[in-house]
């Protein structure tokens, strides 16, 4: 009896110790798992990276390496060596999204010529009668425009003594702005008053002379810019997840760069050569084929290796330099047009931004000079991103000039 009771107590003691061991083992397992996760999601040094993530040996630390997708997505709000690479182009994407919406809302509306019959009444009822006299004095210099003879007929009853046949090719709004400042009497030259009067006249007359040109080349450029910026930002955020995803993201990034360069040609080529359809088709077709060829070349596995960094930079730089031909051609055709010179200035500035960006990207400066000092902020790829956004915005400003030019003058 005592022996059986002793055996029973030993069995219970053994079971209790086994349960305690299992509980302890489970607790240790949970602690170990949390510790493993903590170690797993820590930032690592360059030498600890797998080969496919090694791209710039001058950035020594703060790398994410093969993190789970959830942690990779959340890392957009944490500090690592890709944080500014993500945000520089993410902010750029939203900038161009806003510019696209703004541009779409600012398309000028056509005002039918019959509304010109109300033009004398508008001037007569306006609150600047003195300006009306000066406007009449400027009317003989109105530009040659389609259907302008109808305007002449409307004005004959109001201005029988004015010779409306000797019109020059001046821009009507610029003419009024310049003429009014020169001819208005000195006792009415208050800057605020004149500015207000000129704006009123411009608002009255400019819509009557506008024929909105097609916007698709400009929106193609804006779409290419947004695709490039969003693809780049996504690539820098997700590429550390796995080798396969890195492969896909890098191809998307290269496709975005090629799309931005190709579509950047569309506004200057189309609006410069819209009256020369052969040249227009030739230039747009060439840059489109070059962009597609670059995208196909980027599909080769060797294209993304660090050894081909200079080749990638040279290829994209060459795509941009090919734009020199249509720009020079534009200057030859329109050397006497202020818009041609103004847009060329913007295009030279854009080329400078892109060229410096490609040079910084290829040379990996400044981190080459001080390895490890620019891991978080200031390294070459971040500078490259900023210069790309600056170049694209400069091109946007040039595009607005092209639109105003062709809206006013047509083909």
Residue 111: per-residue pLDDT: 45
Q: What are phi and psi of 161, to 5 degrees?
A: -90, -5
Q: Which of 60-69, 105-114, 210-219 has the highest mean pLDDT?
A: 60-69
Residue 348: per-residue pLDDT: 94
| Mean pLDDT of all residues belonging to the chain | 78
Higher pLDDT, 306 or 370: 370
Q: Which residues are annotated as a binding site?
A: 236, 381, 385
Residue 411 pLDDT class (50, 70, 90 cuts): confident
Whether this model's pTM surpasses 0.75: no
Q: Which residues are annotated as a binding site for Zn(2+)?
A: 236, 381, 385
**pLDDT per position as a tens digit, 163-188:** 444 444 344 445 555 555 554 444 44
Interval 402-410 mean pLDDT: 88
- Matching residue, tokens 């980027």: 298
Please report how the helices 243-272 and 324-333 are oriented relative to each other, as an axis angle in degrees rounded to 10: 10
Res 314 pLDDT > 60: yes
Residue 178: per-residue pLDDT: 55
Residue 149 pLDDT class (50, 70, 90 cuts): low
Q: Residue 95 in contact with residue 114, Cβ under 8 Å?
A: no
Res 340 pLDDT > 60: yes
Provide the b/e sequence for 312-337 (b: ≥16 CB within 10 Å).
Answer: bbebbbebbeebeebbebbeeebeeb
- Using a 10 angstrom Cβ sphere, with 0-12 exposed, 13-18 middle and 19 or more buried, the burial of residue 119 is middle
Distance from C-alpha of 185 to C-alpha of 130, rounded to nearest angstrom: 10
Q: What percent of the chain has pLDDT above 70?
A: 65
Helix (H, G, I), strand (E, B) or coil at 141: helix
Helix (H, G, I), strand (E, B) or coil at 195: helix
Query: What tokens appear for 385 in the block?
Result: 């991103």
Reported as half-sphere exposure (CB side, CA atoms, 13 A), residue 312 has a value of: 26
Residue 315 pLDDT class (50, 70, 90 cuts): confident
Interval 232-239 mean pLDDT: 97
Residue 116 pLDDT class (50, 70, 90 cuts): very low
Res 59 pLDDT > 90: yes
């Amino acid at each position: 009896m005592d022996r059986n009771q002793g055996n029973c107590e030993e069995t219970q003691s053994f079971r209790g110790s086994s349960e305690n061991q299992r509980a302890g083992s489970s607790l240790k397992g949970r602690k170990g798992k949390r510790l493993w996760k903590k170690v797993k999601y820590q930032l690592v040094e360059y030498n600890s990276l797998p080969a496919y993530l090694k791209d710039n040996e001058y950035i020594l630390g703060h790398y994410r390496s093969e993190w789970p997708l959830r942690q990779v997505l959340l890392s957009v709000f944490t500090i690592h060596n890709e944080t500014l690479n993500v945000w520089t182009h993410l902010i750029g994407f939203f900038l161009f999204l806003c510019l696209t919406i703004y541009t779409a809302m600012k398309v000028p509306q056509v005002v039918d010529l019959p509304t010109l019959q109300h033009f004398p009444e508008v001037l007569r009822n306006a609150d600047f009668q003195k300006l009306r006299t000066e406007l009449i004095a400027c009317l003989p210099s109105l530009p040659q425009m389609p259907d302008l003879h109808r305007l002449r007929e409307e004005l004959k009853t109001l201005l029988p003594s004015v010779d409306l046949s000797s019109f020059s090719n001046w821009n009507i709004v610029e003419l009024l702005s310049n003429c009014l400042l020169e001819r208005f009497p000195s006792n009415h030259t208050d800057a605020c008053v004149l500015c207000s009067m000129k704006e009123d006249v411009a608002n009255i007359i400019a819509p009557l002379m506008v024929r909105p040109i097609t916007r698709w080349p400009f929106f193609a450029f804006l779409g290419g810019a947004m695709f490039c910026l969003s693809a780049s930002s996504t690539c820098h955020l997700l590429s550390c997840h796995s080798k396969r995803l890195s492969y896909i993201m890098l191809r998307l990034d290269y496709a975005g760069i090629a799309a931005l360069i190709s579509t950047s040609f569309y506004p200057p080529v189309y609006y410069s050569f819209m009256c020369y359809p052969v040249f227009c088709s030739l230039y747009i077709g060439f840059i489109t084929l070059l962009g597609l060829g670059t995208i196909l070349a980027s599909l080769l596995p060797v294209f993304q290796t660090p050894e081909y960094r200079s080749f990638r930079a040279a290829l994209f730089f060459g795509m941009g330099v090919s734009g020199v031909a249509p720009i020079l051609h534009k200057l030859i055709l329109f050397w006497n047009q202020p818009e041609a010179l103004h847009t060329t200035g913007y295009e030279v500035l854009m080329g400078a931004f892109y060229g410096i960006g490609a040079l910084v990207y290829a040379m990996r400066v400044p981190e080459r000079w001080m390895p490890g000092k620019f891991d978080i902020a200031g390294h070459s790829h971040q500078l490259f991103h900023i210069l790309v956004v600056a170049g694209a915005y400069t091109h946007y400003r040039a595009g607005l000039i092209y639109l105003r030019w062709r809206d006013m003058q047509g083909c």
